[in-house]
Structure 1
């Protein structure tokens, strides 16, 4: 049995000669050879986050709470401004020190305590992978239906209790199969696929929108008024709308440093992230709202998902023209689901699992495990039943908001952008991130103070028969905003009263070969190439760190 586990262990390579409890190749700071993401890559990544079926349909939920179209668009714009700001701030450990979400949790919760935040993100990755894979399967079903009318009208051989059709199951299975080779692509080398998928998806959605407006005009929903009894209810609807919009992307905000660690230069991610979120993040929901309104005029019912609009073309008229239009639309939507699931959920889940089990899981293995375990989630229940599980998972922002707040305040205000990388990979109690027995009690206290008052609202959302006070309900509705700012304030106050040690310390040398010589000069540290491995100390470095970090770092290089 021992030999089996030994064979399953992640093998060292040229980047790292030792895999241990805290590191493997995908957890160490990202060196220049692997930092291949530029402007186009980041713009494409965030465009894919926005150009997807979920975001197209998401604005419809804001109309359902009584807001009108103009107010919904206003909420989307405000929400995207918040998302862009938080993404740029929260991803700083990635573009400053080239570490991802997994390692940055050690700053927040301690070397041992970090598993808490990592585990939550892992669960989110698995659930959203399942959800996006189901939508991807529907896109595949649309494509197959363009070639076969029998596939479009395939007889359902499953019992009603399964809550999915035979056709959808086959499509879902095939989507998983074609995802496997894509999940094996290294994160730093997927930029070309992201660019292609982003362009294909945008033009597919643009074409669907143009068709809907040309056929049905703006539709009746555009002129519908908002519907609230009191001004207070109207105001809280705005807060809930902004919170739900930010919350829907909170998982992506939380682990944004997983991708900024691949930045070619420090600031290369800021402009494309901001532009994409503000422009594409507004255009696509507007497409969804207006297309839904137009389909009301065309078919007598609002169709909120773009793939369902294309499927309606086939159901209404199975002509060559309809099939061609549905095929190209289906291919573009499929590109979105494949790319988004790869980056936003597969790779993200792989990085999280690598942090939990670095001896046995790297990014590639973790991504494949994420895809495999996602079957357990049964995502067809999300869309074909009134599952309370969806409500619970959609409310996970109550846990993400305090984590984002703690990290932003810790990195930017308390530590003033100073990190000691070597201590993030050390089990020594003297390390800056060991705190109390490997756990940062302060962050845990803040997390539970902030998230606990929102739990009654989450329970009420899952079971409306359980009554809660209006105050708790309002806190839950605004949890993404309230949770972030309360976490920031509490972290600043507690850190002032009980300051952590070494908050402004950095390493004296680039022990991980993370930075270029120009970056080392800017940071005031000794470049990796000048570290004396044999400790003949002609440069001022920590000999213990040279032995612990540098010695097992690059097998092929003796410095």
Structure 2
């Protein structure tokens, strides 16, 4: 057998196969995980979305959020106000961007095709893939720290293990073992499809929620009240060039920016909803309310533990190690530390799988639909953690992590053009059949590129990139205007790009933007959805022929529908 023939055999084995009866065609633009989800795969109820947002709330970063604002001189009341407003805006923007997935049941990967053009859609896609790779590695490292605490709770001597790693590696054996264990324990969950996430969401939300509440109650009971941290007044340094108003604005912008990547690809998960109300109820209850409560619990616990240990510990792994030492290694202290750190580790594990690995799998599927589905893409994203080497990023490249956290400068403009295009220009109407082909596709534009979106996107981040640079670089006296723009980067980027994109489309209009397919060729909609949209469902139509060009309501060219199915001619 020659090499060419071997390659053909390998290609055929690696290539994905779909069920043609379910319209799961596999080609350059489509596979089972990219087509509009049929009703049978839309299994997420309100608790799925509650759990989805809970795992992004019941974590170390959200626990520590008040510290970010207190260290800048704001009071406890001001810090909590930022959190309440910030979490509310997160819920609102999440619903805004995810609504397309709720109505048309397509994800971020496909959603960008009607805005950017079939080929230019790779621009936001590649940005997301880069973020997924890096954040997955960083989250694995942070989760590894919690696993290391679990191991130390079982075997206290592990905390004092001798470092056997070379000096060229900016980490210790203690940290590296924790990372390795976390990575291997997470791997089996990559085989779990998003349709089956309910049980992990239930277990993790309840476990970690009870653990956090128990920790706060224990701290308050042991300290007999909160410590002095709770009464922190506004104390902005006299040398600071910023008053409280600007610091509050910066804090709200920072909160939105910190979760911008998750907001951007919201439709990847909203498309799994059984109904719109499930998404709204679950998101508000968790993204807003649960997120605020976790920050409050973190603040109260840190304050009470300050009274117990005489020092403020915001980082849960550090505080857990102190608690274990204070208990002199007793079995009771170690058991408490183990269950608390295990709860945080479980949350970090599934937050990473959902928000980075699975999201990365969907994005990679958009690049190589013939060979990569969600599961394969998630595995690739997870394996890439060893290539990214998070121990280098966390322990050495502090500036790089700061840049990564500020990537919303580029993501907010993407969201702006997405929202403007879907709600204002297209009036929430999409031709699904044109999202999976280049020939005669409305969304092919000019050689696959909608040139209007490029300048609109660039104008969104151009005013704020200077502030990002001087802030990350730590300039002593940066231009005030640059920093002010950066403190409003999310809002500036979103609304500037949306406005410019709207103007460009009015000056250079795209024809037939409000069209949609009159026939549901993918079996996407329920009977109620089809009736509301005015779409013919496959199962309810017989001998219906639609041929010709699209009219004002939209149609499907050269399609024959009968009682068996639908064929594109």
Whether TM-score is above 0.5 comes out as yes
Match of 2:551 in 1: none
- Normalised to the residue count of structure 1, the TM-score between the two structures is 0.93
> Aligned pair in 2 of structure 1 residues 404, 101: CA closer, same or farther (>3 Å)?
same
> Aligned pair in 2 of structure 1 residues 411, 25: CA closer, same or farther (>3 Å)?
same
Match of 1:246 in 2: 256
Q: CA RMSD in A?
A: 2.3
Distance in 1 (alpha carbons) for counterparts of 2:526 and 2:560: 19
Tell me, yes or no, if the aligned pair for 2:24 and 2:31 is still in contact at 8 Å. no
Tell me, yes or no, if the aligned pair for 1:511 and 1:528 is still in contact at 8 Å. yes
Moved more, 482-491 or 340-349: 482-491
Match of 1:133 in 2: 140
Distance in 1 (alpha carbons) for counterparts of 2:94 and 2:175: 35
Tell me, yes or no, if the aligned pair for 2:107 and 2:271 is still in contact at 8 Å. yes
Match of 2:229 in 1: 221
SS of the aligned residue for 1:269 comes to helix
Matched, 1:10 2:16: yes
Gaps of 5+ in 1: 554-558
Moved more, 43-52 or 455-464: 455-464
Matched, 1:460 2:467: no
Structure 2 residue corresponding to 1:528, chosen from 538, 550, 555: 538
Match of 2:438 in 1: 427
Deviation at 1:541, TM superposition (A): 6.7
Distance in 1 (alpha carbons) for counterparts of 2:478 and 2:447: 38
Show the 5 A alignment for 1:255-334.
255-316=265-326, 317-334=328-345
Match of 2:550 in 1: none
Tell me, yes or no, if the aligned pair for 2:60 and 2:344 is still in contact at 8 Å. yes
Match of 1:556 in 2: none
Matched, 1:76 2:87: no
Distance in 2 (alpha carbons) for counterparts of 1:156 and 1:546: 69
Show the 5 A alignment for 1:19-58.
19-58=26-65
Show the 5 A alignment for 1:39-438.
39-216=46-223, 217-228=225-236, 229=238, 233-316=243-326, 317-385=328-396, 387-428=398-439, 430-438=440-448
Moved more, 208-217 or 528-537: 528-537
Distance in 1 (alpha carbons) for counterparts of 2:283 and 2:24: 35
Matched, 1:544 2:553: no
Match of 2:529 in 1: 519
Deviation at 1:493, TM superposition (A): 2.5
Gaps of 5+ in 2: 548-553
Distance in 2 (alpha carbons) for counterparts of 1:372 and 1:533: 50
Distance in 2 (alpha carbons) for counterparts of 1:160 and 1:289: 37
Moved more, 50-59 or 20-29: 50-59
Deviation at 1:384, TM superposition (A): 3.4
Tell me, yes or no, if the aligned pair for 1:533 and 1:551 is still in contact at 8 Å. no
Distance in 2 (alpha carbons) for counterparts of 1:56 and 1:399: 26
Moved more, 418-427 or 482-491: 482-491
> Aligned pair in 2 of structure 1 residues 40, 387: CA closer, same or farther (>3 Å)?
same
Deviation at 1:465, TM superposition (A): 4.3
Deviation at 1:72, TM superposition (A): 0.6
Tell me, yes or no, if the aligned pair for 2:546 and 2:560 is still in contact at 8 Å. no
Deviation at 1:467, TM superposition (A): 6.5
Tell me, yes or no, if the aligned pair for 1:460 and 1:467 is still in contact at 8 Å. no
Distance in 1 (alpha carbons) for counterparts of 2:464 and 2:336: 45
Distance in 2 (alpha carbons) for counterparts of 1:64 and 1:137: 27
Moved more, 360-369 or 139-148: 139-148
Tell me, yes or no, if the aligned pair for 1:307 and 1:329 is still in contact at 8 Å. no
Moved more, 308-317 or 61-70: 308-317
Deviation at 1:552, TM superposition (A): 7.9
Size of the aligned set, in residue pairs, is: 549
Moved more, 250-259 or 483-492: 483-492
Deviation at 1:505, TM superposition (A): 0.5
Deviation at 1:386, TM superposition (A): 5.8
